[in-house]
Amino acid sequence: MADVPILSLTTFLPLVGALFILLIRGEQEAVARNAKSVALWTSLITFIVSLFILTGFDPSNPGFQLVEEVAWLPAFNIAYIKGVDGISIWFVLASTLLTPICVLASWDAVEKRVKEFMIALLVLETMLIGMFTALDFVLFYLFFEGVLLPMFLLIGVWGGPNRVYAAYKFFIYTFIGSVLMLLAILAMYLTAGTMDMRVMVDYPFPSNMQIWLWLAFFIAFAVKTPIWPAHTWLPFAHVEAPTAGSVMLAGVMLKMGGYGLIRANVQMLPEASFFFQDVVFFMSIAAIIYTSLVALAQTDMKKMIAYSSVAHMGYVSMGIFAMNQQGLDGAMFQMLSHTFVSAALFLCIGVAYNRLHTREMAAYGGMAKNMPRYAVVFAIFMFASVGLPGTSGFVGEFLTMLGVFQVSTWYGMLSATGLVLGAAYMLLLFRKLFFGKLEKPEVKAMSDLSMREVAFFAPLVAIVIIMGVYPASFQNVYNPTVEKILADHQASLKAAGLIEAETPKTAELRTETPATQPASEN
């Protein structure tokens, strides 16, 4: 595999599948059947290929690995550069895993324009993988913006009754934030003379410039995460999106915001991140408490899970800007946990909606009696969402709050209220769906999970339990990178006179690890 550009291959394989689907001709039923088959096989092959990224990755190296670099616009010092580190590799694998699951989940649910739906899904996968592996800011921005179009179509064409409004709101919110990010990128390019993100990480941008750059990046990524009060587009997008759209939106697209906050705000603009720490904490706590209360008042179960996503991502943003080992470690773990748990919860809601065609909780009840497999699967992800020990949700929230408590006891105590509220609305949802009398004829007629549905839930159940029981299996991959980020961050703050001394551990890491890691062999 030494000479194989594995990152580019993983990125563009879905586009090859999309091209094959585009060329399919024939009767409508045959076209739909063949489009689904091509999309499934393409996404499965892409997932298998992406596993070679993990096998070729050295967890002990905190720098960028599997780097591919080709001169693109040499006159402007712009290149095609791709690479992964411990922060980005799991999001690449999450993108490749969730795509075939979305294809299976849409197998019978999508009945119109199936060919176009599968093309949009594969194009979305390419854009997501491309963004998480881009190491040149031009390339990063192109993929970051490229995500908007397929998701806009998924919501606007295959969504619910208010899909057009939701699609435009999603597009406008995220596009405005992206314009500010583009201005910040141009300012950094004119200052540093390069678009290479590896150089930007170590470049000493002036303190006054960092403030404005940080604000531009933060607005762009706060909308994507989303952080209160830039979250209002998310519930509309989730409610109107098809199940596959909600899965990719909650599972991977929201992580673009968290990834950007780490990569740009924390790594490239450390002084400004320190300056705005309390602002981010305030916004995060507001998101946790406010959106949890709003979720508690919902009667639409999809909207409830949408608001819960905002609350859970509030823990992520707090952990990132706690700027200590437990906080950033917990933020990474919480993002990964939320990737699989939120995706699974939206799949669970899709299962019920496909049978009864309503998302109102009052329409259900007593489903544990006639759908026991579905009840068990839903319970596992519900418990993971509320942070039950033994599931992935517990590890991320515990580490995040531990990191926040080290910064401020009051911040930690306020954020803890989200755990109680989260348990309240998730248990309320579970009770209304599965307990009580099985009286409604239409609910009695609902069938339990099919083998196809079991097939796409099984890997998610396994991952959530493995992450909860053996978290080191995921942490060991990104921990060296997290430690290096924190060491460099504290060194920058010390040099700027914002802190008196580094911690002994980060000082040792910074001394032992060069600022710029050599790329490992492909």
pLDDT at 92: 93
Average pLDDT for residues 413-438, to the nearest whole number?
87
- Give me the residue spans of the domains in the chain: 1-272, 276-470
**Residue 320, CA atoms < 13 Å, CB-side half-sphere:** 32
Please tell me which residue, 8 or 510, carries the higher pLDDT value.
8
Distance between CA 522 and CA 520 in Å, rounded? 6
pLDDT at 226: 82
Task: Indicate if the pLDDT at residue 60 is higher than 90.
Answer: no
CA-CA distances (angstroms) from residue 285 to 212, 229, 269, 416, 451? Answer: 24, 11, 23, 9, 41
Average pLDDT for residues 320-343, to the nearest whole number?
89
CA-CA distances (angstroms) from residue 72 to 75, 139, 147, 454? Answer: 9, 10, 22, 45
Q: How many helices (H) and strands (E) does the chain have?
A: 25, 2
Mapping DSSP to helix (H, G, I), strand (E, B) and coil, where does residue 299 land? coil
Structure tokens at 41: 């096989």
Cα angle: 409, vertex 417, 324; to 5 degrees:
40
Average pLDDT for residues 321-330, to the nearest whole number?
88
Candidates 37, 122, 101, 31; CA nearest to 452 is 101
pLDDT tens, position by position, 353-391: 888 888 888 888 888 888 889 899 999 999 998 888 888
Task: Indicate if the pLDDT at residue 492 is higher than 80.
Answer: no
Distance between CA 53 and CA 91 in Å, rounded? 12
Distance between CA 279 and CA 277 in Å, rounded? 5
Decide if 7 contacts 85 (C-beta within 8 A): no
Task: Indicate if the pLDDT at residue 516 is higher than 50.
Answer: no
Decide if 388 contacts 394 (C-beta within 8 A): yes
Q: State percent of the chain over pLDDT 70.
A: 95
pLDDT at 514: 46
Phi, psi of 336 (to 5 degrees): -65, -45
- Sequence-distant (≥ 6) Cβ neighbours of residue 494 within 8 angstroms: 500, 501, 502
pLDDT tens, position by position, 162-214: 888 888 888 888 888 888 889 999 999 888 888 888 888 888 888 888 899 99
Candidates 342, 305, 344, 338; CA nearest to 319 is 338
Confidence of residue 504 (pLDDT cuts 50, 70, 90): low
Element (DSSP H or E) covering residue 424:
helix 409-434
Candidates 311, 314, 303, 313; CA nearest to 345 is 303
Confidence of residue 397 (pLDDT cuts 50, 70, 90): confident
Confidence of residue 509 (pLDDT cuts 50, 70, 90): low
pLDDT tens, position by position, 79-94: 889 999 988 999 999 9
Average pLDDT for residues 277-285, to the nearest whole number?
89
Phi, psi of 64 (to 5 degrees): -80, 135
Distance between CA 410 and CA 431 in Å, rounded? 33
pLDDT at 518: 40
pLDDT at 522: 36
> Omega before 504 cis (within 30°)?
no
Decide if 222 contacts 177 (C-beta within 8 A): yes
Confidence of residue 503 (pLDDT cuts 50, 70, 90): low
Confidence of residue 14 (pLDDT cuts 50, 70, 90): very high
Task: Indicate if the pLDDT at residue 508 is higher than 80.
Answer: no
Confidence of residue 507 (pLDDT cuts 50, 70, 90): low
pTM metric for this prediction: 0.88
pLDDT tens, position by position, 115-127: 899 999 999 999 9
DSSP string, 102-155: HHHHTTTT--SSHHHHHHHHHHHHHHHHHHHHB-BHHHHHHHHHHTHHHHHHHH
Task: Indicate if the pLDDT at residue 98 is higher than 90.
Answer: yes
Confidence of residue 521 (pLDDT cuts 50, 70, 90): very low
Distance between CA 45 and CA 122 in Å, rounded? 12
Any bridge partners for residue 70, and if so which?
80
